[in-house]
Amino acid sequence: MVKLVIDMMGGDNGSNATIGGVKKFLESHDDCEIIAVGDEKELEPIKDIVKIIPSESVLPMECGVMQAMRQRDSSVFKAVSAVNEEKADGVISAGSTGAFLSLATLITKKIEGVERPALISPFPTKVAGKYAVLLDIGASSENSPEDLKQFAVMGQAYCKAVFGNQNPKTYLICNGTEEGKGNELSKKTYALLKEDPNFKGYIEGRHVLDGEADVVVFDGFTGNVFLKTAEGVAKMIGGMMKDAFKHSLCTKIGYLFARRGFKPMLKTMDYKKVGGALLVGVNTVAVKAHGNSDPDSFAASIEVAYKLCKNQVVDKIKENLK
């Protein structure tokens, strides 16, 4: 039995997204107990299928860490606290990233030996069905070479636990591929990683999603820029494709003929299906769902957390860090 706590109120769509997500998830899982934290009235529709912890206050999306710590009756504070109190396996929130990550770190504590937890997520690549695991995509703003070395270890543990990949090819983001390239941080990290047999060297932004790399290590600042750039360019091109098909009656007819071909592409590009990112390095499975989650993508986030618990990812990270 997996036990998950869910912050039902965070995210742009509040309980509208999370209630549907919980229902959908539970339809296909009978070995998972869910503890839902949020407004009792709003959670009425699911009161028979989950345990409810009432909370009437919600943190705003742009909330700072100090506010997150002080507002102890917020749904996310209560949800993260419930991990310890209820001995749950994991916790999910679609609310403020900063608030959720700092609460998860402060309340469930960092794994012994971990300096900085990191946000990790698998991303679709050119190779159908193959994912690249990227970290840190935004938990930190600044990292040391030692942080990045730990990210590599935690990324590899994630790959082993989730994809059963025993020798994940690990790369470090850089502005070139030859040894000697990079900034101070890259060079020092390269020197630390050199002894790791899974470390294959530097990788440039253009090759991260080629399907060759299993794990790509970023400092949090660069990882965040990478993630948002990839997202921005994909959206921009997606918008242009729509415009292209809407151009004239002729192109609209073209769409009718072509759309079947585009299905695999849309499936690959549907980042929402990935379901959210894991905070690795803390003593629980803390999954950050997309702020703009809808019921389907929130269900996918619960699924991610459920699988990570089943795969005992936290224990495997602890083993790898030894």
Angle at 257 between CA 253 and CA 262, to 5 degrees: 115
Cβ proximity to a copy of itself, 54 vs 64, nearer residue: 64
- Print the binding letters for residues 50-69 with a copy of itself: x by CB under 8 A, - otherwise: ------------x-------
**Which of 91, 84, 105, 108 is CA-nearest to residue 18?**
91
| CA atoms in the 13 A half-sphere facing the CB of 266 | 10
Q: Is 248 in the site for a copy of itself (CB under 8 A)?
A: yes
Q: Which stretch binds a copy of itself (CB under 8 A): 25-33, 40-48, 258-266, 306-314?
A: 258-266
Cβ proximity to a copy of itself, 197 vs 261, nearer residue: 261
Cβ proximity to a copy of itself, 55 vs 143, nearer residue: 143
- The nearest distance, CB 51 to a copy of itself, in angstroms, is 35
Would you state the structure tokens that stand for residue 224, as one six-digit string? Answer: 């965040």
CB neighbour burial string for 234-259, b if at least 16 within 10 angstroms, e if fewer = eeeeeeeeeeebeeeeeeeeeeeeee
The set of residues, in sequence order, having a beta carbon less than 8 Å from that of 145 and lying 6+ positions away, is 185, 188, 189, 191, 192
Spatial distance between the Cα atoms of 319 and 197, rounded to a whole number of angstroms: 18
Q: Is 234 in the site for a copy of itself (CB under 8 A)?
A: yes
Binding residues for a copy of itself restricted to 125-144, rule: CB under 8 A = 126, 138, 141-142
- The nearest distance, CB 135 to a copy of itself, in angstroms, is 14
Q: Which stretch binds a copy of itself (CB under 8 A): 39-47, 71-79, 183-191, 309-317?
A: 183-191
**Which of 32, 59, 54, 31 is CA-nearest to residue 42?**
54
Q: Is 146 in the site for a copy of itself (CB under 8 A)?
A: no
| Helix axis angle, 97-108 to 75-85, nearest 10° | 30
Binding site for a copy of itself (CB under 8 A): 62, 126, 138, 141-142, 173, 175-176, 178, 181-184, 186, 204-210, 220-222, 224-237, 239-241, 243-248, 250-251, 253-262, 264-265, 268-269
